Amino acid sequence: MCHVGASRVMELFTTTRELVHWRRHCRSPVHFVPTMGALHGAHQRLILRAARPSGDVVASVVVSVFVNPLQFGPGEDFQRYPRELHADAAMADQSGATVLFAPGVEEMFPGGTGQDVFSLRVPDSLSTVLCGRSRPGHFDGVATIVARLLSLVRPDRLFLGEKDWQQLVILRSMVEAMGMPLAVEGCATVRDSDGLAASTRNRYLNPSERERARALPQALAAARSVHANGRFTPDDLVRTTWDVLTAAGLGVDYVELVDPCRLRPQTAPQGPAMLAAAVQCGPARLIDHTFLMTRAPIVAIDGPAGAGKSTVTRALAARLGLIHLDTGAMYRALTWWVQQQGADPADPAAVEPLLKGLDLNLSAADGQDLQIHVNGHNVTAAIRSPEVTAQVSLVAAHPCVREVLTRQQQDMGVRGGLVAEGRDIGTAVYPDADLKVFLTATVAERACRRAKDLEQRGFAVPPLTELEAQIAERDRQDSSRAMAPLQMASDAVEVVTDGMDIGAVIQALVDLFRQRVPEDAWPGPSGS
């Protein structure tokens, strides 16, 4: 056992029996960091992240140390891979681990690791590209051991480094395909002071080899700069990067531009693309990558009225370091203006003249709630009144309104960097959003939320049955209107929020976002 202060004792287990017994009696959430040992700064960052409290909840952190023979090919460095259990235990302990699981090969493979061992097969589309092309069977071995470890640890969250991006994509796919009840969290690549991605195999390099190896991150950074300036074709990026690495005396295994989610080649990238490379430098095989983006990320959150889109969007934007764009507030603000002018909200001929010269402004100072102004009037509170709510669908249905406000929203999205919500934001306004979510809840749940909101704002609260009828009717109007009807985009993810508190909803959306936009590409305000 390893001791840290009086409040925590890190336990060291070497048998599955010990680990299973501990897990059976653990009552806190469990976070898991699998490693092959020889822990360094990147592993430490993973453990610290896993141990970070979430509100009042503190998870138990399990770190595994196991040099897995199944993922080493013939002639690779299985025998000489560093094994430093004492130092690993000290670092895991200092970083906040609850348990260090360090089994031997015989413990994990009692029947040996021969041809008859039960193993997983990773789909060729993921395992035979990038590193898998020159390391056949490697990712099958990774998936097999991680699946075994997950069955023992039974974590709520699995923490993996983005440096091994292909491995992260494969393990996410495995977790989803096997229906494992856990979330996978990727953490940004940690780099040493000279720019090299932190790796156990860096220690194989002598000083002159290490100097040559610096060409790998430098070449990728140069490619990213060229991409940012718009002077490139995908073939140019790959060829130039390859030439720089070769000129530095590195043996190039591959340089490829791929879709980071599916690992397929990208010839004309529209969203985030990953430029990845693997090289041989002396005795060490090194991998690295950079993400290329044509704009900052956009998250589009659709869904019916009363699903909590505004609350969720505001909190998610703050969590990811993006701008909150409340498009629903824009339609509410215009509805308020129509009412103030005494115009008929159902008559497009009466509404259209009010769009000319309309000064509709959304702003938010750091850490402050969104403020909405119409022609100099602060209408932030007024647009949430029952009167506005009752007529906003009528105003929003007019083609002239949709055209003006959609164009304004699209102009806001040219540079990206938005979390935008609305009832057609993913289908009509930002069809190329990096993440589309259809956020919804049952009518009964939305009625309860609406009643609570009215009460908090000081408005009269109708009976729940009346609120349910109003919400159901508004859903019908929104989904049947001729212009931009309420519907879920074909590539959106549906999130039903019944029974979820705001924290759980936000975390679910962050997890979805990070599957598409890595921390290496968009770190967020605190490496979210």
Active-site choice (21, 31, 40, 43): 43
What is the model's pLDDT at position 2? 44
Residue 164 confidence (pLDDT): 98
3 is an active site residue: no
pLDDT in the model for residue 201: 96
pLDDT digits (tens, 9 = 90+) for 375-403: 999 999 999 999 999 999 899 889 999 89
Structure tokens at 190: 């940690």
Task: Please report, as a single letter, which amino acid is at residue 82.
Answer: P
In angstroms, the CA 183 to CA 299 distance is 20
| Model pTM above 0.85 | yes
Tokens 């075994």 correspond to 148
259-314 confidence digits (pLDDT tens) = 999 999 987 766 789 999 999 999 999 999 999 998 999 999 999 888 888 889 98
Give the tens place of pLDDT for each residue, 166-179. 999 999 999 999 99
In angstroms, how far is CA 437 from the centroid of its own chain?
13
Q: How far is CA 366 from CA 313, 318, 323, 371, 412, in A?
A: 15, 9, 10, 12, 18
Give the per-residue pLDDT at 528.
55
Q: For residue 282, give both structure tokens.
A: 């002396």
Q: Helix, strand, coil % (nearest 5) of the chain?
A: 45, 20, 35
Which segments of 289-373 does DSSP mark as H helices, in order? 309-320, 327-340, 348-351
Residue type, 188: A
CA 487 – CA 176 distance, rounded (Å): 25
* Number of residues assigned to the chain: 528
Q: pLDDT under 50 in the chain at which residues?
A: 1-6
